[in-house]
Amino acid sequence: MALRGTDAEALQQATVLALNKIAMDEPEWTFVAARLQLETLYREAASHRCYDHTRKYGDFYSLISTLIEKGIYSEKLFGAYSEAEIRELAETIDPECDLLFNYIGLFMLADRYLAKDHDRKVYELPQERFMIIAMALMMDEKTESRLSLVKEAYWALSRLYMTVATPTLANAGKSYGQLSSCFIDTVADSLDGIYLNNWDIARLSKDGGGIGIYYGKVRALGSDIKGFRGMSSGVVPWIRLLNDTAVSVDQLGQRQGAVAIYLDLFHKDIMNGFLDLKTNNGDERRKAHDIFTGVSVPDLFMEKLLEVDESGRSIGEWHTFCPHQVKQLMGWKDDKGNALGLEDFYDESDRKYFTEKYEEAVANPLLPRKTYRAMDIMARIMVAQLETGTPYMFYRDEVNRQNPNKHVAGEGRTSIYCSNLCTEIAQNMSATEIVKEYEDEDGNLVIVRKPGDFVVCNLSSINLARAVPAGVLDRVVRVAMRLLDNVIDINTISVGQAQRTNRKYRAVGLGTFGWHHLLALKGVAWESDEAVELADGVYEDIAFYAIKASMELAKEKGSYSAFEGSEWQTGRYFERRKYDSDRWKELKGAVRESGIRNGWMMAVAPNSSTAKIGGSTDGIDPLYSVEYAEEKKNFKFKVTAPDLNHITYNFYRRARHELDQTWSIRQNAARQRHIDQGVSFNLYVKHSIKAKELLNLHLEAWRQKLKTTYYVRSTSQAEIEECESCHS
C-alpha cells in the first residue's frame, strides 16, 4: 500500500511537464498539474493512514483519533462531537471540490496548512482541513443547530467562496497555535511601558502574530527625564530594540517576527531618525531595517502642503513637539485629571479639536519645538517610500471621525492612534500600565498591570470572483461573520490584555479578495467609472449583509459590551454614510432595537497566500502580470491570470505599474465608504515617477478620504516580503 518510488517519480515528472506547459495561450494546464498533484497527495495520505488510495479520502473519524493521539489535533474535537456526529459530517465531505484548485492554490495549501505529523508526513487532505476548521469554529454552538452550522461553513470553505486568515487556516482544530492575525499596542511613556510592550510583542510574535505599535506617546530625543534636561534618547533606540526582538523571536519557527511602528508627524523625532530607519544612507547605529514604519497624518499637515506663495512654492510651516513636554507645559487634562497631549485630539467634521490644540501649542513661547517646511517632511517621506516601500500613511482624523466606537474616549478625543502591520485595522487603543508592585503572602513579587485596549484582528475574506457571480454573497457573509465571532471565544491569546480587548469589543475583520478577477469576469476595465460604481455597489452589499448578520447574532447571543452610546446604537453610523434607502432604514432600526454583536466588522487585508488558495487575485490589488513566475524559497513555477481567455485578457493585460493609480484611489474611496475599518491599499508607481506626481497621489488619497495607504511599490524595489498573518 506504500507509495512506490516509480509511481511517485512518474507523477512528479508528469506534474513538472504539465507545469512547463502553462502559458497565456494554454492556462488550463494548471488544473492538469493540480490533478496530478492531488493524486500524489491522495497516495501519500493513504500510505500514512493505511487505506487504499483509490478511495481518495480515508476514514475521517480515524484521522481525528490518530492526530489527537499524536498531539496534532486538539482533544476538544472529541469533547465536542460524538462519533456518530463526526461520521455524519464525514458524509458531507466532497472530494469533487478538490477539482476547484489550480496548481499554486493546491501546492500552497498542502505545503503550509494541511496537518502533518512530527516527521512532516501528510495525514490531512484538503476537504478534511476545511471540515476541521468548520468543526473547530462551530464547536461551542448550540447542540441542536451545531451540525447544520458546521455543514454550512464547510459548504462555503470547500467551494472556495471564502477563506479564513492564515493563523486560523493553519491552526484551527489543532493542539497548538492561536487563530488571530494581527495585534496593535500603545506604548506608554515610561521605562516599564517600553519594556513590557517588548515582552508582549515577543510573546505574540512567537505565536505567529503580526504587530502594529504606536510610539507617539514616548518622549523625544533631548527631552528631560525626572527633571534632568537633555537625558532622553528618543524613540529610535527603543525601536531598534524591537527590531532585534522581531528578528530573534520568529513566528512558529517559520519566519522572523513582523512589526510596524507608527509615529505622529507632529512628534519631534519624526525628522530625527524615524523616517530614515529603513533607508540605506546615514548612521547604521540608528537603523532598524527589519521593522516597518507608518506615519500618523493629521488633515492640518496635508493642508499645510497646499499653502504656496505667489511663485507656487510650498511655504506651509510644520512644527514638531515632544509629547512629554506638551503634557508638562500645556496643562490639558481629561475628566480624570490625566495629562493629555496633541496625539489625544482629532479634527471632527463639525469642530477641529486637534487644530485648536496644535495652534495653542504653537502659540506657547515656552514650548520647545522644531520647525520645518511641511513639504520638506513630505519629501523625506516620499524618498523613503520609493526606496523601501514605507512609511505607510495613516490619516488619523478620517479614521477617528468614522470610528463607530468613539464614545468610549469622548468628543474630539482620539480613540485610534495607528493601524496594524497591514493598515486595514482601526480599533480603539490605549496603553497598559503598571499600577502596583507588592509581595504576596507566599513571598512572590506581584506586578499589577492596568490593561489598556490592546487591539486584536480576526480575519476572513470573501472570494468576490466566485461568490458574486454565483449570487451567494448574503449566505457566505452570514457564514463568515459567525465563524469570525466564534474565533473570539475559542481563541487563546498569550497576552491577557489582548484577550480582554478582543472580548470587550468583539471586533472582526471581514474582507475580500479577487477584485481584479471579478472585473475581468464582468468585462469591466480597471480605469473606468464602471469599476468605481461596481466597487460602490459590491461593498455596500457586503456592508449591509455583514451588519445584518451581526445584528442577528446579537439577537441570538447578545451585543458587545460597549454597544450603548456607540454610533451603531445612535444611528449616526448610518447617517454619516448617507444610508437612506428602505433596506438601510429598516436595518438601522433593527440594530437600534436588537443591538449588534461586533464593535467593528469589516477590514480588507492583503491576503496574497489565501487568495492563491482560492484561485483568484490578491485582495483589491490589480494583477501583477498576465503571466509570471511564482517563486519562493522552495518552489518556482509559472502562473497565469485566473479564468484567462481571449475575452478576459483584455481586462488583465494592463498590470499593476501600468495603471493610472488615480483610478485605483477612486475605486478604493468608493469601497472605503462602506468599510468601518480600513483597506490594505498599495500604490504602484514607476521608479521614474516625479516627486510632484507621487505627491499628487497622496493628496488625492487624502482628498478622497482614504483612511490608510499601505506600501508605495516602485518598479525599482525588490518584491516586498509581507507578513502572512493578515492574509485571509
Task: Give the residues across from 184 on adjacent strands.
Answer: 212, 455
What's residue 719's pLDDT?
Answer: 59
Work out the average pLDDT over 84-102.
98
**Residue % of the chain over a pLDDT of 70:** 96
DSSP 660-709: -HHHHHHHHHHHHTT-SS-B---EEE-TT--HHHHHHHHHHHHHTT-SEE
What is the pLDDT confidence band of residue 3, given thresholds at 50, 70 and 90?
very low
9-24: per-residue pLDDT in tens?
889 899 999 999 999 9
Is residue 666 over pLDDT 70? yes
Cα separations (Å) of 603 from 72, 174, 263, 419? 31, 26, 22, 11
- Residue 233 DSSP one-character state: B
What is the pLDDT confidence band of residue 725, given thresholds at 50, 70 and 90?
low
Is residue 1 over pLDDT 50? no
Is residue 253 over pLDDT 60? no
Residue 152 CA to residue 159 CA, distance in Å, equals 11
Contact between residue 121 and residue 115 where contact means Cβ atoms under 8 Å apart: no
User: What value does the CA radius of gyration of the chain take, rounded to a whole number of Å?
Assistant: 26
State which amino acid sits at residue 291.
Answer: I
Nearest to 645 by CA among 25, 8, 11: 25
Pairing verdict, β 210-214 and 459-463: unpaired
What is the pLDDT confidence band of residue 634, given thresholds at 50, 70 and 90?
low
Helix (H, G, I), strand (E, B) or coil at 447: strand
DSSP 132-158: HHHHHHHTTS-HHHHHHHHHHHHHHHH
Is residue 211 over pLDDT 70? yes
Catalytic residue positions, numbered: 420, 422, 424
Residue 310 CA to residue 682 CA, distance in Å, equals 34
528-560: per-residue pLDDT in tens?
999 999 999 999 999 999 999 999 999 999 999
Nearest to 463 by CA among 642, 629, 627: 642
HSE (CB half, 13 Å, CA atoms) of 73?
27
What's residue 724's pLDDT?
Answer: 56
Residue 100 CA to residue 643 CA, distance in Å, equals 12
158-206: per-residue pLDDT in tens?
999 999 999 999 999 999 888 998 999 999 999 999 999 999 999 888 8
What's residue 178's pLDDT?
Answer: 87
Helix (H, G, I), strand (E, B) or coil at 712: strand
What is the pLDDT confidence band of residue 423, given thresholds at 50, 70 and 90?
very high
Measured CA angle at 435 (ends 434, 438), to 5 deg: 95
Task: Give the residues across from 320 on adjacent strands.
Answer: 370
Measured CA angle at 363 (ends 362, 366), to 5 deg: 90
What is the pLDDT confidence band of residue 59, given thresholds at 50, 70 and 90?
very high
User: What is the overall mean pLDDT for the chain?
Assistant: 94
Work out the average pLDDT over 218-242.
87
Is residue 721 over pLDDT 70? no
Per-residue cell: 714: 516602485
Residue 610 CA to residue 513 CA, distance in Å, equals 9
